[in-house]
Structure 1
């Protein structure tokens, strides 16, 4: 959970934990109740670590983790924004350390790193619900921060990637799809959509900034989920670098944001998410240096 959920629904956190505990205490064989089976496994681990019975059982039934009291997000987005990460495991560990605090009936924000990793290691599927038409997966950094961060933290805790899905509840029938298709839809309806681009660029300064934000979100999704295809970066390059008219529009709207977007595109290649051709790279570097010269001049 994020810090806002914690602050807005404190009673719900307690009620959910009571539900988890009730399910774990059902009078039925553990092989018929995977939740109960998992709680009993965690209980044994906690007891071996020195926890007393009541404490161990309360924590073993807990499934809600989030930021420490007074904190609200993770450090994942800040690492991507500032480029201060070495490899993908750095992002996964940052997520774990940000959200390693357990919320149960007896504990509110207690740091439990090993317990959190044990829960993450048991995950087979990471999913995200899309509940409105306003935002696509590439529109907000929270998607890669929480959804992507969770996927990457599960991967490093489990030792292997897990399946990642988006469930779209905006239609009459719920549609569950693999993340890469949700990313592609977001790119096509936003960053590669002439009507959307022209609408954005009607807003001085902010228009190009919003486009650049989505470029950064793409890189964040690529790093945390590995579900952004290389062709997407080439398509973005074709739209915003190779197209002279579009490039001038971006530069005139907000040259600082455009410069940052080109830098993120270069970073995407340097981090091996984009298999760019030499022609694409040469054009991108020239455009980048051109804008950098304008900024310094």
Structure 2
């Protein structure tokens, strides 16, 4: 009886261990298991992002609502902040430094305000993007979702904020004699290309900021330098007249200047095509596609490292 029982137990034990001798990697492959938090393929990653599109939109709207929730004027600061900046720049550059040369007052003020609003769109996308991962570590560590959802939602938040501010920009432009025309339809492709560009930059700095949080402290100085080089307060073409043509052209084709000049051309009657660099639409498309695709791939390659350490 004892020998029979012992033989039966051995037989059951052998039958219950068909995977004996397999390594952990072989067992994982056999049963279709994968590493938790592993980076998916690029196509699968895009598919996952599309599946989270409602979350991305809702998150951006929630952030936009909460941004000025503690201020008495609330979301009016979305418009007041760039307008106050434009007023300061007009006093310093338009009145004191006479940077408005080449334009009448009715052209320079819309020129300046448009530049401030458009550059602020890019600037804010970068500043929120650099903290997209490092400032939301609790969310990143608690939930499983494509991490690119965060910088994309922050860029979308800034687009919504700009669209709200554009109402005031339209009023200013019309007030100085530039009335709606067919050229205003160009606003849609301009904003679309700039949004792609901004999103790519947000993805790039989000990965960099996740590894080096101090980058958020350095970024304002980088952005301020970029602003002064991009012709927000002055016309690059007029300011660089008589100087190195190659250097002037390099300043004109930098992406911030390209998107500002396109928007000025679309909105302001006195800002003609002669103020734009050659092949400006091809340049804008190049910056938008290259930075967005490059930024997306750059961010995706570090997907499994966000929130670790």
Do the two structures share a fold, i.e. TM-score over 0.5? no
Normalised by the size of structure 2, how large is the TM-score? Answer: 0.26
Q: Which has the higher contact order (CA 8 A, sep 6+)?
A: 2
CA radius of gyration, larger in: 2
Q: Give the structure-1-normalised TM-score.
A: 0.27
